[in-house]
Structure 1
Amino acid sequence: MKKTTAHALPQPLPRRGIYRILVCRPNHRLGNTILLTPLIQELEQLYPGAEIDVLAEGDIAEEVFSHFFSIKNVFCLPRRGFKHPVAFLSLLHSVRQTYYDLIIDPCLGSGFSRAMTLHMRGRFTLGFSDDRRGSGLTHAVPTDVAGKHMARRAIHLVRWACTEHTGQVQASASYPSLDIRLSSEERVQGLAALRQVLDEGERAADHPVVGIFANATGAKRYSSEWWAQFIQSFKSNCAASSIVELIPAHGHSMLGETCGGYYSSDIRRMGAVMANVDLMISADCGVMHLAVASKVPTVGLFSVTDASVYAPYGSGCCSLLTTGRSPQDAASQVVLSFASILGSPRQGGSRRDAPSNELGAGAHRQSHFDQLGLSI
């Protein structure tokens, strides 16, 4: 992390005496909410005795953070709050009754998040700004500290503000990962649900199971024709694998019902099922981040957005840039990169036999990813 000398903080955030923390992230999108989980883990490490509240939008955050013991309240603003002014203002008034030791705006460039941060009452307020004096924050961190990937920006924010050597982020090889903290019980139930989706022959065989989520918003969505060619090529390269489609929220298959499908409007149940497949392949979307946070090796397909900002963020996960590549080439790249998972049937049973928090795929594939144009 590069050194930043301008706009040095008058003093670092204290490491003691902070017990009530509010994180302001009023956004309803699944991916943006899950990308907040590394920040919560970082705060748990920095302030292990603190209680954390989250100001969110919509009800997704309640599901994402339901197993975080450190989080006391998830305040969910109504979506499009201007259409629900009474509920919106009532909730803001309720949150404002608490005086926090630290209020964090983890966003880069969100006026709404900043407004909520400054509206609440707290001893210290933290966020990105190049205008230290005019930001209204007690601790304004220069925007060039943020870095590229969304999951790390809030980590850099907090580490820069807490460091004893103000103006420099201490280099660290360790960053918290995406994690919705699925319980063992959830994983076991996810395994049972997955087995029901597979046909009898697939349940009996020790073959890899690959999950596909084929939906995304706007230009990030690949056509049904693209997916048909991708799957045909994937199966020809990995005939022993079984494919399960994770059905989008609208409840309709994106793959023409060509394979078994699992649907749930509960994101934790969907995560529990994905946790039991051997590999997830997804377009760039919130479910891609949910797969990573469920601790399954994940390939994110990118053609529009910047993969350096939104790539799957976790060990054994990678992004694949599909621009200029045919569906057949993309499928071949995935099979070749994950040969240790998709190759010959493994001895001694499959990952699906015993749910685990450990990833079988590791960083040893990094050099191979680099050769193929994939990136972690």
Structure 2
Amino acid sequence: MDERKIIHIDMDAFYASVEQRDNPQYRGKPVVVGRPEGRGVIAAASYEARRYGIRSAMPSLRARQLCPELIFIPGRMEIYKEVSARIHRIFHEFTDLVEPIAYDEAFLDVTRNKAGIALGVDVARAIKRRIREEVSLVASAGVSYNKFLAKVASDYRKPDGLCTIHPDRAEAFIARLPIEAFWGVGRVTGRRMHELGIHTGADLRACSQDFLTERFGKAGLHYYEFARGIDRRPVEPSRIRKSVGCEETFARDLTTLEEMTEALYGLSARLNRRLDRTGFRGHTLTLKIKYANFRQQTRSRSLKDELGASSDIFPLGETLLRESGAAGHPVRLLGLSLSTPAADNPAEPHEVYRQLELDF
């Protein structure tokens, strides 16, 4: 069997780059997409803004402190969707094995591509050129024999990067990686890794499978295999929708149960509209709470019967809210999501959803 040729394409600072493309006065300046109000959160930051330490998901107030001349631009999701669709049409001119991850990134399996190009790096180079010529945006690309390494490669030389990790060089490359570069290792897991003396790929490779699974559960097996350059996941052109949800960050903290209940009612209505639009049904309702100090709490309840658009989501959400003990504490965000679809039961029929149709 041919060695797989997997490409990971990541649009550089996508939302902010679209705004700089469409508004020449913003080019070369620190620009963020987001709301400047006190409770706003940064959705995307240009590379000029990133030089100040500004990143996505950062509170707007903090971003303004880091860069007083920061330019805030309201998001234009319909425009970003249109641009994303154009980029994905370019992908499909090379292969139909395209797995969208978000509007600004995707995996492509180009082992057997429509253009008949032998080398994956040449396919990636052609895609980058087409995006620049037809959409006037810059993408970074990583090429390797699996998804994990292709993703690592695309992050390696940003912006406008192109990096290939060959099978015979993968082990040495992985050994040098900081542990935070591994898929699934966020801030919390990274801190736990450091406490265990794991700082690099070489440190991770020295750990046994039992050691990692005992401490990280199922994820431990993935870490064990990633450290050895193993990732068996295929590029999946379509995915089964696993959840539908919505959340809201409030202009001021909610402190009373009455305020939180009123906000929850509005979230329940929004969730029902999304369930109606998607036709999704699930067994588990999850309430997400983020407090003023950014501590996060979730509470879930799974039912035997499915919930859907025709279900009364609000009473169950209200029960979860009361059980959370949030009343009396300043709450900055509430979220509701429905998960555990019937599709997770092999005996039940399921509907397949294209990843691009998910709400972001």
TM-score, structure 2 normalization? 0.28
